[in-house]
Amino acid sequence: MVSRPNIHVKSKVAVVGAGITLFRRRMLETPRELAWEAAKQALDSAGLTIRDIDCVVIGSAPDAFDGVHMKGEYLADGSGGLFKPTVRVYVGGGTGVFVPIAAWWHVASGLCRTVLAVAEEKMSPARPHPQGVFAYIWDPVLERPLGPNLLWIFALEMRRYMHKCNASKETIALVSVKNKRNALDHPAAQAAANITVEDVLNSEVLVWPVNRLDVSPVSDGAAALVLASENEARRITDSPVWIEGVGWTLDNTHWYNRELGYPRYVQYAARMAYKMAAIERPWRDIDFAEPYDPFDYKELHHIEGLMLARPCEAPKLLEEGWFDRSGELPTSPSGGLLGVGNPIAAAGLMKAAELFWQLRYEAGARQVKKPVHRGVAQAWGDLMQAGTVVVMGN
């Protein structure tokens, strides 16, 4: 007997359309133009117009990237949100997967029949480098006086993971190699490449153990999904992709007061989503995954947080090709943030969109080899504290 969560839904929720722009280092389009391009494409793919949409959910990460405050309001027209119940959500890097979660509850609650979910980020305007904008996420009293760089926290976490799991930089670099290679088949991709482990190890050392090619690039871009209630979805398409479970949690901002080798907050979010989806053995019941990979070690860290591998087991499975597109449990078949790019909120939504395309067998050259019934996408954010998870099935 599967235990059911105490969550009452008025309707099942399906994804019925998806859209995406190019992901690039620098783009001509304004943030709202990028949002419009992705939103329009998502509507077109579902055969809908903006008049068919009841509610709009917008996701975008720190205002400081685009350099415009009230980004939700700013993006509202390009996202089709005028004169509709419209909301912007934000949980740092976790935002992209939080967008379909928020859109889900709009429909599951019975409040809206159709939702347009749009995520946008334009990181390139910040000068001299968007890294500087991250200075404002640190605690003003305890952390900023030390002159931190955002990469410090990732490097600290990666170093801890390497120590705890006895994982080498060489093994971890295989994630970057895999994802950049997968991205060669993604039309939006910014950082697709055929590279080797040596290329990663020989790239510029930023904060040891993090080299340049261990990290995803700075990107501009947008992505969008259309969600619908069960009745609407069946009218719109013969092949809806169902949202079977959602989960999200926040830990505190005191990241130096906890074990950095394992993301507890991701595990809690995953448990919530799996419970809703009646999944008891995720490592067996999930066919493929889009774990969040802004850094190569993060994919392994998150695979373990998602309980798709035991703690410290992911590096070994990676070496064995377990996570390749032709492997037992393909991860980041899209090419991930390392390969497709990392316009923060849009990158997370790109991962959710990949579940949609894979589960409809529409991913073309990216389609994973095995038959797929169920996939999980996950994002992570803030000061090692936000976990967002969505499970979809066909």
Partner 1 sequence: MPDGGKKLPGTYLSDKDLRALPGLVEHTPEAKYMFSAGQAQSRFLQGLREGRILGVRCPRCGRVYVPPRSYCEYCFAPTGEWVEVSGEGEVHTAVVSYISTFRERMEKPEIIAVVRLYAPGYSGKGDEYEFPGMFHKLCGVSEEDVMTGRVIGMKVRPRWRPPEERIGSVTDLECFEPVKS
Nearest partner of 116 among 188, 47, 18, 30, judged by Cα: 18
45 binds partner 1 (CB under 8 A): yes
- Binder of partner 1 out of 220, 290, 299, 324 (CB under 8 A): 220
Name the DSSP class of 204: P
**How many CB atoms are closer than 10 A to CB 95?**
30
Buried b (16+ CB within 10 A) or exposed e, 323-349: bbbebebbbbbbbbbbbbbbbbbbbbb
Dihedral sign (CA 173, 341, 285, 357) = negative
Chain position carrying tokens 């895999």:
178
Residue type, 38: A
Per-residue mark of binding to partner 1, 349-368 (x: CB under 8 A): --------x----xxxxx--
- Binder of partner 1 out of 205, 231, 284, 326 (CB under 8 A): 205
**Minimum CB distance to partner 1, residue 165 (Å):** 12
**Minimum CB distance to partner 1, residue 164 (Å):** 9
- Binder of partner 1 out of 8, 28, 83, 371 (CB under 8 A): 28
49 binds partner 1 (CB under 8 A): no
**Minimum CB distance to partner 1, residue 211 (Å):** 10
The span of 82-90, 155-163, 174-182, 193-201 binding partner 1 (CB under 8 A) equals: 155-163
41 binds partner 1 (CB under 8 A): yes
- Binder of partner 1 out of 34, 76, 192, 392 (CB under 8 A): 34
Antiparallel, parallel or unpaired: β 288-290 and 220-229:
unpaired
DSSP letter string over 161-184?
HHHHHT--HHHHHHHHHHHHHHGG
The span of 101-109, 121-129, 240-248, 316-324 binding partner 1 (CB under 8 A) equals: 121-129
3-class DSSP state of 1 = coil
Q: Please state, in angstroms and rounded to a whole number, the distance separating the CA atoms of residues 249 and 237.
A: 32
Q: Which is nearer to partner 1, 193 or 206 (CB)?
A: 206
Chain position carrying tokens 């509202």:
76
The span of 145-153, 269-277, 279-287, 310-318 binding partner 1 (CB under 8 A) equals: 145-153
**Minimum CB distance to partner 1, residue 340 (Å):** 10
